Structures are given as structure tokens and as C-alpha cells.
Structure 1
Amino acid sequence: MAATALREQLNGLVNSMFAEGLLDQQFQQLQMLQDGSTPGFVAEVVTLFCEDSERILTELTKLMDQALVDYSKVDAYVHQLKGSSSSVGAQNVKLACIQFRQFCEENNKEGCVRALNVVKHEYYRLRSKFETMLQLESRIQAYENKQQN
């Protein structure tokens, strides 16, 4: 498949992510930071975001499984995830984290468990689209490298 067709597919995917509310304008800011000297910048940031999010979600799941929940620890992790989400433009994850933090402030375990499930759902939805995006970018890069040789 030609690089042009792959780029169109990639642009369509990213546009659909904006339309679904998965991404906000912060992601556009990230894209603008990528140029010829840093072709893998967005992919690197997205990969780091996903790795960090996986770690945080694992910790949050462990904390919420405790009989006595340490809401200050939960809140600290949710705050960290909210910040990471904001920095990559993961709008739905960020919004879900805001709701989660409200339940933490209320020491509401049931609300926190529900909120954690919403955060996970939004994150996994986004991660799936990010994985497709990274595969397309990788294929475009491989095609362009092949053309140069």
C-alpha cells in the first residue's frame, strides 16, 4: 500500500479519535512538536503514556482490592494518571479521572470501584486506537525508508 494511502488511513483514524472525544487539542500540540528531526516523537510519547498508565491501573486495582482503602494513595495515582492523560490529550481518560478523584475525596469505595472501571474502559478503548495508529506510522516509516534505498 502506498505511503499516501497509509497516511490517509492514519489521518482518518486520528480524526475519528477526535470525533469520538478520545483526544483533545493537546494531542494536536504533540503532533506539531514532531518534525523531520524527531519523526518518532508522538509514537514515543504515546508508548510512554501507555506504559505508565498500565502501571498506574495495576496499582489502583491492587489498592481498591484492599479491605481498607488508602484514599490518599488512590488519589495520588489518579492525579498522576490525570496529568499523563492531559499531557497526551487523552480527553475521556482525563474526564474519568476527574470523576474518580471526586469519589476519592468522599472516601466512597463503591464510587471509586465504578470510576476505576470507567477509567479502565476509556483507557483500553484509547490504547486500542493508539496501537493501530502506531502500526500505521510504523508501516509508513518502513515504506518511506524502502523508497529511499
Structure 2
Amino acid sequence: MLQDASSPGFVAEVITLFCEDAERILTELTKLVDQAVVDFQKVDAYVHQLKGSSSSVGAQNVKLACIQFRQFCEENNKVGCLNALNVVKHHYYLLRNKFDTMLQVILNLFEKNVIEIML
């Protein structure tokens, strides 16, 4: 459960929850878009969800890629959706690497503060 924003683990928890959710959605999108007959409404619902959560954490490039993805869903364009999914994944994994670095810094700072408190 999320703590308030003054909690030391708040940012780490928000990032972790976003990444877990995004990866679950990307897995579902991959399965759906790989189907012989694509359910574009279902794909669009997942993309809409990812767009919203991306907005909440400031993942602008992922959000913009989702906007384009949704346009391909509206056009029932499978090839466009496949390409858009690859773009979304690309931006997500770039972001994920940055988040991993942030989480490591947060963990290091937290450990340093705990050690200083113990001394």
C-alpha cells in the first residue's frame, strides 16, 4: 500500500507499481496483437490504461507513443498496431532503465541514512 509522499519509499513504490503494471499490459498487448483476428477494442482499452498510468508518472514518451497506438486501433490497422507496440516497448524499456538507476540511488540513500541513524 502506498504511503504518503513524505515516506522514504513512496517514489520507489510508485515506480515499482507502474513498471509491474506496464509489463503486465505489454504482455497482454503482445498476445492480443499477435492474434490472427485482433480485438482492436480490447487492445485500445489496454493502451488507454497504459497511457493513463504513463501520464501519472511523467512518462511522456510512452504516453505519446500510446496516443499514436490508439489511432491505429481506431483504424483497425494491425500492422500499425504491431509497429506502435514496438515503439511503446522501446520507450518503456528506455524509461525502465532510467527508473532502475533511480531506484538504485534511492536504495543507496536509504541505506546510507539507516546506517547514519544507527551510528
| TM-score, with structure 1 as normaliser | 0.76
| Residue of structure 1 in register with 2:28 after alignment | 59
| Paired residue type of 1:100 | F
Residue 34 of structure 1: how far off its partner (Å): 2.7
For 1:34, the equivalent position in structure 2 comes to: 5
- The structure showing larger relative contact order (alpha-carbon pairs under 8 Å, at least 6 residues apart) is 1
Deviation >4 Å, runs of 4+: none
Mind listing any 5+ residue stretches in structure 1 that lack a counterpart? 1-32
Other structure's SS at 1:67 match: coil
Paired amino acid for 1:74: V
Supply the RMSD in Å over aligned alpha carbons.
0.8
Hey, what's the Cα distance between the residues in 1 that align with 2:5 and 2:99?
A: 16
Residues 1-149 of structure 1: pairs in structure 2 closer than 5 A: 34-35=5-6, 38-149=7-118
TM-score, with structure 2 as normaliser: 0.95
Q: CA deviation at 1:39?
A: 1.2
Identity of aligned residues (%): 73
What is the number of equivalent residue pairs in this alignment?
A: 115
The CA deviation at 1:112 is 0.5
